[in-house]
Structure 1
Amino acid sequence: MKNLSWFNKLMFFLNIVLTVSTFLAYRLPFLAPKLFPLLSVLTLFMPLFFILNGLFFFYWGFQFKKRMILSGLVLLMGITFINKFYKFSAKEYPEGEKDFTVMSYNVRLLNVFKWLDRDDVPDDILTFINEKNPDILCIQEFSNSAETDLKVYSHKYILVEGNQIKTAQAIFSKFPIIYQGNIVFPNSNNNVIFADIKKGKDIIRVYNMHLESIKITPDITEINDKNIDAINQSKSQKL
């Protein structure tokens, strides 16, 4: 540090702060957001952290300083995270006779609670599904209250659960469903349903999983179980 100019000392201090912040961002995906709600937003800045660490790496490298190792190690440890943010083009394969398409879609109860002040949301959702025309359609937060024409799918499995708010998981298929079931998550309103679908001579098991939202809100004080239960109860009264 004694051989560094005042500017390089400042840059090294900022480099250390960036390194600590990046390591925290690496660790946060493995921790519950309720434990560190304010820090959970750090993961949103991961692309910026990668760029800044890269700039520090070249900054020290051009000066032949050993401090480049600090940012180099951070970038090396973050390779798996880089793959999650950036996807490179893959080889395209021609469609085959055995190919089929699967769509997973959270339709938010088809807007029955009027979260959006529009009446055409179910129609827009149906139009989108028809445009994509998947062979197997997995829907989270499905509702039978909204009239949605999915008659093109002759086979379906719908599991409706909930005390105050009736919400459903659904699997629609153009191929026969020969077996179906569900997996219950303990202490949670979310679950998994599955269906064994027969396509030709093959039997394919399809899982439709509805994971719990981390419930990020602008006001961090709203992230607690009591407020969430109160919100759900007020929504259920609108049915």
Structure 2
Amino acid sequence: MIGGCFGFSIFSNETQLNRSVLKRFFRNILLFFNIIAALTLLFIYLSVWVSPVVFWVPALVGLAYPYILLLNILFILYWLFAAPKWALVSIVCVGLGYTHLQNYFQFAPKESTDKGIVVCSYNVKAFAAKGYKYKDATQNAQTILDHLKTKKPDILCFQEMSFLNKKGYAGFNKQFDLKGLPTKADAGRVHGPVTLTKFPIIHKDEVHFEHTGNMIIITDVVTPSDTLRVFNCHLESYRFTQEDISSLDSISINKQDNNMKEFRLFGSKLKKAFIKRAEQAEELRRQIDASPYPVLVCGDFNDTPVSYTYHTVRGELKDAFVESGAGIGNTYLGRLPSFRIDYILHSPDFEAYNFQIDHVDFSDHYPVSCTLIPNKKD
């Protein structure tokens, strides 16, 4: 009897020991992957400081920021219950990038009914969300303009706009009746950025980039409070075709050679876009620094808030979404880059209120808008 109890005790102890070993092994595996996730997050933070011209890999990994952040948060939640001291690994790394988190997500909007400058920015994809047929584009243009008129914008910045006729803006205005936005600045071509405003324009300029159709329209407008320099920009895109996306979707384990070819092509386009966009962002920054007036920067940056592009362009400017937005600032309907790539930035001379992202599917982007109210001068 004693021998039987002794044998059962040994068996029970061995079982407990095995469970303890497995538990420790499982936790060590989780800790290993947690450390990898935390280090990846730190590596991503480099992307805002290191120009892709010098080293482009942080920019590539930076596209995964929301997912790596979420993974670290899940690790924090697990360790808080399993072994609280290890939660510090991710808590510290997430905390070091708290400002990046703010650029992606805001908890509470900041609203005001005071009169200010209503600003709207929208990449309309040549008004051709349903395709590039003239009839579809014309109908979609009417839908878009009807929607935007409800906002009563004082400054309206379009990217990838098309006038849809040979008469340019005059014909476009006659066709769609843009009352309240009588003055405009554009590149003098059929397709590109266009700035419309109800304020008088006293100066116009353009910044063209080499070997690309992307550009910046500069417009000095006289507002009731001050002269404002408006930068309407469309920075370098990845230029992925539908065929590129389809090729990635059809990657097969049995076609290793084809897979590598597709990955190399995809990576090449990413690298070229990162480098071109970094150079364009630096030029835009130089233009902002040279402005004699407070500035407003609207446009499609084609890059996320955790990027060299955003960090370089923003500088000391305020981000209207960070100031007065709420929720996840997703502005792009496409698959890459996901989340927020359309921005309204402005000088500290103003406060932004009522930031909105209208989730309408008239384009592959969402329109963004806010109200800028001048700070009271002493």
RMSD over aligned Cα atoms = 3.4
In the TM superposition, residue 59 of structure 1 has moved relative to its aligned partner by 4.3
Tell me which residue corresponds to 1:178.
Answer: 202
1:79 aligned to 2:98? Answer: yes
Tell me which residue corresponds to 1:157.
Answer: 185
Per chain length, whose mean CA-contact separation is higher, i.e. which structure has more relative contact order (CA < 8 Å, sep 6+)? 2
> Which of 114, 119, 123 pairs up with 1:106?
123
Tell me which residue corresponds to 1:196.
Answer: 220
Q: Structure 1 length normalisation: TM-score?
A: 0.73
The 8 Å contact of residues 159 and 192 in structure 2, kept in 1 or not, is answered as yes
The 8 Å contact of residues 186 and 192 in structure 2, kept in 1 or not, is answered as yes
Tell me which residue corresponds to 1:48.
Answer: 70
Aligned length in residues: 215
In structure 2, relative to structure 1, the CA distance for the partners of 1:201 and 1:178 (3 Å cut) is: same
CA distance in 1, matches of 2:267, 2:30: 37
In the TM superposition, residue 16 of structure 1 has moved relative to its aligned partner by 2.0
The 8 Å contact of residues 53 and 75 in structure 1, kept in 2 or not, is answered as no
In structure 2, relative to structure 1, the CA distance for the partners of 1:50 and 1:175 (3 Å cut) is: same
In the TM superposition, residue 40 of structure 1 has moved relative to its aligned partner by 5.5
Specify the SS of the correspondent of 1:180: strand
Tell me which residue corresponds to 2:24.
Answer: 5
Within-5 A mapping of 1:1-239: 5-28=24-47, 30=50, 32=52, 35-36=56-57, 39=61, 41-59=63-81, 61-62=83-84, 65=85, 67-96=86-115, 99-111=116-128, 114-115=131-132, 118-119=136-137, 120-146=139-165, 147=172, 149-152=176-179, 153-160=181-188, 166-200=190-224, 202-215=226-239, 218=245, 219=248, 220=263, 221-222=265-266, 224=268
Specify the SS of the correspondent of 1:160: coil
CA distance in 2, matches of 1:91, 1:202: 23
CA distance in 2, matches of 1:224, 1:6: 40
Q: Which moved more, 1:213-222 or 1:126-135?
A: 213-222
Show CA shifts across 1:152-206 (max 9, x none).
Answer: 1211112135xxxx52221111121121112233454322112111233632222
In the TM superposition, residue 87 of structure 1 has moved relative to its aligned partner by 0.6
In the TM superposition, residue 22 of structure 1 has moved relative to its aligned partner by 2.4
The 8 Å contact of residues 197 and 205 in structure 1, kept in 2 or not, is answered as yes
Specify the SS of the correspondent of 2:206: strand
Specify the SS of the correspondent of 1:72: helix
Amino acid at match of 2:38: T
Show CA shifts across 1:113-171 (max 9, x none).
Answer: 9258945222221222222221111111121225552531211112135xxxx522211
Q: Which moved more, 1:7-16 or 1:117-126?
A: 117-126
Show CA shifts across 1:78-121 (max 9, x none).
Answer: 2122112211214433313xx12011111112229925894522
Larger CA Rg, structure 1 vs 2: 2
CA distance in 2, matches of 1:91, 1:35: 36
CA distance in 1, matches of 2:66, 2:132: 25
In structure 2, relative to structure 1, the CA distance for the partners of 1:129 and 1:118 (3 Å cut) is: same
CA distance in 2, matches of 1:149, 1:169: 18
In structure 2, relative to structure 1, the CA distance for the partners of 1:9 and 1:183 (3 Å cut) is: same
The runs of 5 or more residues in structure 1 that have no matched partner are: 229-239
CA distance in 2, matches of 1:139, 1:88: 28
Tell me which residue corresponds to 2:363.
Answer: none
CA distance in 1, matches of 2:106, 2:205: 34
The runs of 5 or more residues in structure 2 that have no matched partner are: 1-20, 166-171, 249-262, 273-378
CA distance in 1, matches of 2:153, 2:95: 39
Amino acid at match of 1:109: A
In structure 2, relative to structure 1, the CA distance for the partners of 1:101 and 1:21 (3 Å cut) is: same
Specify the SS of the correspondent of 2:41: helix
In structure 2, relative to structure 1, the CA distance for the partners of 1:61 and 1:151 (3 Å cut) is: same
Q: Quote the sequence identity (%).
A: 24
In structure 2, relative to structure 1, the CA distance for the partners of 1:108 and 1:176 (3 Å cut) is: same
